[in-house]
């Protein structure tokens, strides 16, 4: 039974998580390494899009960049929400962050809220760095009231759908180095999710596999928000399937928000001060 005290404790945990996420974001924006990773993908994608100027989608008059940019935005939301937390969770386990979160009431809920807020803000910063210069050089994009309404909603839903799952997956690995496997897996999913070419060009069974994961649906959603009328002809069912997109992302969000705190608590339960000290010593002596 959920009591008033329980709701109050969870409210405190949520506020603490938001505060922690904001502090982590401010720290990240002053760290040279974090700034480098925040810049490298937007700069690389922008350069790629510049080389696409004047190119069109084969068989159409649609600018190639107008198809690729929205897909890149959707991919960046999913990648930032899945791979980022998965790689950081192992580090937080090694330095004792998770152990401290476990020791506070509803600490795992606050921890998860903080991660959603942190990765949402840093991913948004990267997207702004990508979108502003790209929009100025790419023609045929649809930028209107529908775009202004739909894109923020897709972004928020996308982060809620991916960060908890990324955190849960990251808890599987014993070290931050092993968590790089999530990045490799993400690359494979991107390849079959219609990000760089229409998913309808792939075998039917691969289309079904791609539609299971958020990469496809976030790419579809951002394309629906930014591509001109008629572009949906290249999609499955000749439709943007907006309702289905939100439904699938909603399922991922619910599963992640329910599963992630349970998995994180169980992982933290196995952590002890001596285990953390041993992990730190291993990191410090690595390479010697």
pLDDT, tens only, 217-254: 999 999 999 988 888 888 898 899 999 999 999 999 99
Q: Mean pLDDT across the stretch 197-207?
A: 87
pLDDT at 65: 80
Q: How far is CA 280 from CA 5, 92, 283, 286, in A?
A: 37, 11, 5, 10
How far is residue 60's CA from residue 32's CA, in Å, rounded to a whole number? 43
pLDDT at 45: 82
Q: Given a cut of 60, is residue 15 above it in pLDDT?
A: yes
pLDDT digits (tens, 9 = 90+) for 90-105: 777 777 777 777 777 7
Confidence category of residue 276, pLDDT binned at 50, 70, 90: very low
**Cβ neighbours around 105 below 10 Å, total:** 12
CB burial string 39-67: b at 16+ within 10 A, e below = eebbeebbeebeebeeeebeeeebbbbbb
Q: What is the CA radius of gyration of the chain?
A: 20
pLDDT digits (tens, 9 = 90+) for 131-181: 887 877 777 788 888 889 999 999 999 999 999 998 888 877 766 666 677
pLDDT at 14: 83
Q: Given a cut of 60, is residue 265 above it in pLDDT?
A: yes
pLDDT at 288: 42
């Amino acid at each position: 039974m959920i009591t008033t005290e329980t709701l109050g404790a969870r409210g405190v945990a949520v506020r603490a998580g938001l505060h922690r996420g904001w502090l982590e974001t401010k720290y990240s924006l002053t760290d040279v390494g974090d700034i480098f990773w925040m810049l490298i993908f937007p700069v690389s994608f922008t350069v790629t899009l510049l080389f696409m100027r004047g190119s069109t989608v084969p068989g159409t008059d649609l600018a190639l960049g107008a198809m690729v940019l929205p897909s890149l935005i959707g991919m960046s939301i999913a990648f930032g929400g899945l791979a980022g937390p998965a790689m950081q969770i192992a580090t937080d386990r090694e330095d004792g962050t998770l152990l401290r979160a476990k020791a506070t009431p509803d600490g795992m809920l606050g921890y998860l809220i903080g991660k959603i807020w942190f990765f949402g803000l840093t991913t948004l910063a990267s997207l702004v760095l990508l979108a502003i210069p790209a929009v100025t050089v790419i023609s045929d994009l649809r930028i209107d009231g529908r775009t202004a309404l739909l894109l923020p909603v897709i972004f928020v839903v996308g982060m809620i759908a991916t960060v908890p799952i990324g955190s849960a997956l990251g808890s599987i690995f014993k070290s931050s180095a092993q968590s790089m496997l999530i990045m490799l897996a993400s690359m494979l999913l991107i390849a079959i999710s219609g990000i760089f070419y229409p998913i309808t060009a792939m075998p039917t069974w691969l289309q079904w596999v791609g539609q299971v994961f958020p990469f496809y649906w976030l790419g579809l959603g951002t394309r629906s928000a930014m591509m001109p009328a008629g572009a949906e002809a290249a999609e499955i069912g000749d439709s943007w399937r907006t309702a289905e997109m939100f439904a699938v992302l909603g399922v991922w969000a619910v599963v992640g928000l329910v599963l992630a705190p349970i998995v994180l608590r169980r992982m933290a339960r196995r952590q002890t001060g001596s285990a953390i000290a041993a992990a730190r010593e291993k990191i410090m002596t690595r390479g010697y």
